Amino acid sequence: MPEQTSPPWKMRWSIGLLGDFLWMNLPESRPFLAERIAAEVGEAIELDRELQPIQPMDTARDVLWYPLIQPALDARPRDEEWVARLLRVVREAWELEPPPWEDTRYGLRVYVLENLDVPDCLPIVERLEPALYAVIRSEIGS
């Protein structure tokens, strides 16, 4: 029987939809994913339970926003190619999970989109990733 293959962004050892996507598409996220994986393994050992996928909220916060996106936006001088790449990855991740299964979108909205929806960041998003800007306007609408 031939081996069944997964989509190119889904790993056999899954760390969740968003985690798998970031691992395969944003290698710079891997050290931060490793920290979340280690924390999950530690909790599973401590609580004597099975391993669970990393929650999208945790991935959005601890892998995308704080270690990658926020420092990229705050850097002086700002590397606009890097920021544009991060914003593109966010937009692509947003499209991974269509309604009604929206755990990934919820995590991205709370920790990424809402943090981008501020006067200092929104013009950057509009200029570098107009499709993500449209998502923010559609989702948050402020």
Q: What would the 3-class secondary structure string for the chain be?
A: CCCCCCCCCCCCCCCCHHHHHHHHHCHHHHHHHHHHHHHHHHHHHHHCCCCCCCCHHHHHHHHHHHHHHHHHHHCCCCCHHHHHHHHHHHHHHHCCCCCCCCHHHHHHHHHHHHHHCCCCCHHHHHHHCHHHHHHHHHHCCC
Domain ranges of the chain: 17-140
* pTM of the complete model: 0.88
pLDDT the model gives residue 68: 98
Q: What is the full per-residue pLDDT of the chain (142 aa) written as tens digits?
A: 455 565 666 667 888 899 999 999 999 999 999 999 999 999 999 999 988 889 999 999 999 999 999 999 999 999 999 999 999 999 999 998 877 768 899 999 999 999 999 999 999 999 999 999 999 999 997 5
pLDDT the model gives residue 33: 97
